[in-house]
Amino acid sequence: MMFKKNTLHSRINLFILGIILLIVTIGCFVAINIFFSIYENEMTRMVATGITEFEDIIIEENKDWLLSFSEGLTDPENHLLVKNDPVSIQALHQYIGHANNKALDFVKVSYQDGSNYEEILTDPNILTLASQNAVSSTTKPYFWIDGDTQLGLHLFCRYPLTGSDQSPAGTLLMGINLADQKKVDYMKNTAALEATVFAENTRIATTIVKNNENQIGTTLDPSIADMVLDQKLAYTGKAEILGDPYLVAYTPVLNPRDEVVGVLFVGKSIVSIYTIRNQIILYIAILGFLLLLFFYVVSNHWLRINITNPIRWVADTMKMISHGQYTVLENMPKAKYEEIEMLQTTMYDMVNELVTGKKNLETAAYIDSITGLPNRVSLYKKYQNVPLTDNRNTLKQVYYIDVDNLKYINNLFGHNVGDNLLLQVGKILKGLFSHYPNYEVYRISGDEFAICKSGSYDPDEIQYLAKSIIKEFEKAITIGEQIISASVSIGVSGNENCDGKKCNICTKECQDNLEQLLKKAELAMNQVKMNGKNNFMVFNPSMNEIIQRKASLQQDLKQALKNKQLEIYYQPKFDLASNRYDGFEALVRWNHDERGFIPPLEFIRIAEESNLIIELGDWILEESCRFISNYNLSHQSSYSIAVNISTFQLLNDDFEEKVTNVLEETGLDPCLLELEITETMLMNSMSIAYEKLKFLREKNISIALDDFGTGYSSLTYLKSLPITTVKLDKSFIDDIATDKLSLKIVENVIQIAKNIGLKIVVEGVETIDQLEILKDLPCNKIQGYYFSKPVSKLNLTEVLSEYP
């Protein structure tokens, strides 16, 4: 049998065992904290529920008792309050005495003839306190709470008396003490919660005992008093009660003058649980420290001798080999462990491949792996160190090319299709410039290419080649089974030749280096992006200001979203059939504190480019749905709301869930929500968009095709799309009053849409002539400045008053 050397396997097992012990200790520590955190959360929930139950016991049950007591007095069969005579008064006295088991303070009957009957069972000042609240005549019982530190906390009821013919016969005024120690004790016995009734900030009934003394007469803790008494806010959470930690819930009690006259409290002491937790944590921490200390001393020595030193020798050897000192292997010591021996053997094989691998790596460092084009490293290597005065070899023209919407294509079709698209773009550019030997194509980042030329600067050639690139990408690109319409945005920068005659002393400032040319070309390309993409632009200095404004607005937009500085305006829609407004379109507006009004097209484009559009769109959807739901509720109306949806929102995985959640949270009927999408958005993501819109339609949410006529304008799509409405773009109707062809086109579009069951909304109506023509066609709804511009929610009611 072959002798087998000792291996590291068993030793590593010991090492892992020690780590496991340490992990278990830490795990126990974490588990204990989680357990006690869950316990606290459960106790907090119990306390929050307990305060509600305590309110019912202290206030609502007493209200019910007073109401029952009053109804017994006014029962026609008893005839206790029908007549103001000695017999009735005696019966009334007996009834009060028999029923007074609820800490009744007083009963006062005031008759229509001015006479009174009073029974005061406690401090007469309580009746005086109740009489201070003058309540106008009412036909229903009226309850209120009042009191102070001296008189305590009391519930009062003013009950109207009527005769047999239901005519007013007088008033019954009663009071009952809310600080009932039995009910406070009942709360502790049934719910295991401490309970207290405060009059102002003084405990007048409580279950809290400290140092074997009941804490009646003590005051509310100052940290809570400010919130509950001064700010009139309820509070649930942690607090110190007379120096001890509690989970608590406080709710203020207000009198008719909106003054806090008392507080209800329930709580759970967590002194004991904190003590137990701290003890357990201390014991585990001590144990963990001892284990760690023992393990460190033992394992540190073993690791240094058996693993660290051998591995360090291998590392030092590899470092020397990386510097070409391959002879170090000739003096390699004999391995102690099998694994180290295997590593040494592998090193011999690796050295033989180092030279070949190094050459391959150098090649790969300069070539893009997807397109096979030279990369950014190659570009810098060629031009970065060329003197600016070398007119023959210095960089003269740079085309900075960005593939439009590559991220969108990756999301829609997958990264494999996106990579293939980049490969095709590289082939197209390389083929286009194959006849221009002074040009070279580079892929410099994810979706960006650069075309660079040395030797001479030719403005006419720049225009010609940039247009040629744009035209080349008008053709559709086929990738597998996908047909993709791609476009590019191009920025151009360049250096004119330096002939040494432009300056008296040559400073080279008339020439830009590689970094400057790339930056300028990128700025020009970004300007093309801002202007709508699929075009080219040559750099000029004014672009610096535009880019700076864009960057500044992007930061401001983030803050505006965070601080809720944006506002939604509402433009009414006019229903021709009912001759009234029946809904609105939600339009976001931004009035910047320093820059003034920012056009929506500008900051929405910034939001799309900076990934803020989803957050912005979600806010608009929720805010407008909440507003219209509340408006309909308060005005007893049924107006609908239309919200524009961006491509990025629609393609988001949880878009449908967000919409349904907003409707549920705001209480808006789904049939009153209309989502507006553009033709371009729908056509470019048909398969994904169709399923999402179909789901929303099944939820009874309306879908409108916005700006119809500005995109593909294909009527054949309308019959198969899950939409309910077509919004005809303003450009269709601008000249329908003067141009018969425009009128005929609009008439045919409306007729086709109606034939397939779609509603027609016409945008941009500004004149009476346009309105009259559209009435005759007819369309369903009108939207435009003829009726109203978009207005803030404060001015909406005034606009709606014209056509209620």
**Helix axes of 338-366 and 376-383: crossing angle, nearest 10 degrees:** 60
pLDDT at position 629, please?
Answer: 95
Lowest average pLDDT, out of 5-14, 26-35, 82-91, goes to 5-14
In DSSP notation, 696-736 reads HHHTT-EEEEEEETSS---GGGTTTSS-SEEEE-HHHHTTT
C-beta separation of 328 from 321 below 8 A: yes
CA distance 761 to 436: 53
**pLDDT tens string 483-537:** 787 889 999 988 776 555 555 555 455 677 888 888 888 888 888 887 778 899 9
**pLDDT tens string 543-569:** 777 767 777 888 888 888 888 889 999
Helical (H) or strand (E) element with 762 = strand 759-763
pLDDT at position 156, please?
Answer: 93
Domains of the chain: 27-269 (3.30.450.20), 386-540 (3.30.70.270), 555-798 (3.20.20.450)
SS (H, E, C) 618-653: HHHHHHHHHHHHHHHHHHCCCCEEEEECCHHHHHCC
Decide if pLDDT at 303 tops 70: no
The residues facing 783 across adjacent strands are 763
CA distance 486 to 424: 10
CA distance 400 to 515: 12
C-beta separation of 402 from 532 below 8 A: no
The residues facing 157 across adjacent strands are 143, 174
Helical (H) or strand (E) element with 322 = helix 309-322
Q: Which amino acid is at 157?
A: C
C-beta separation of 239 from 273 below 8 A: no
Q: Encode burial over 488-522: b for 16+ CB neighbours within 10 A, e otherwise.
A: bbbbbbbbeebeeeeeeeeeeeebbbbeebbbbbb
Say what the pTM is.
Answer: 0.45
**pLDDT tens string 427-470:** 999 998 888 888 899 998 888 999 988 877 788 888 889 899 99
Q: How much of the chain exceeds pLDDT 70, in percent? A: 80
C-beta separation of 306 from 11 below 8 A: yes
C-beta separation of 498 from 511 below 8 A: yes
CA distance 57 to 197: 12
pLDDT at position 713, please?
Answer: 47
pLDDT band with cut points at 50, 70 and 90 for residue 308: low
Decide if pLDDT at 358 tops 70: no
The residues facing 450 across adjacent strands are 400, 442
Decide if pLDDT at 4 tops 50: no
Mean pLDDT on 236-254: 89
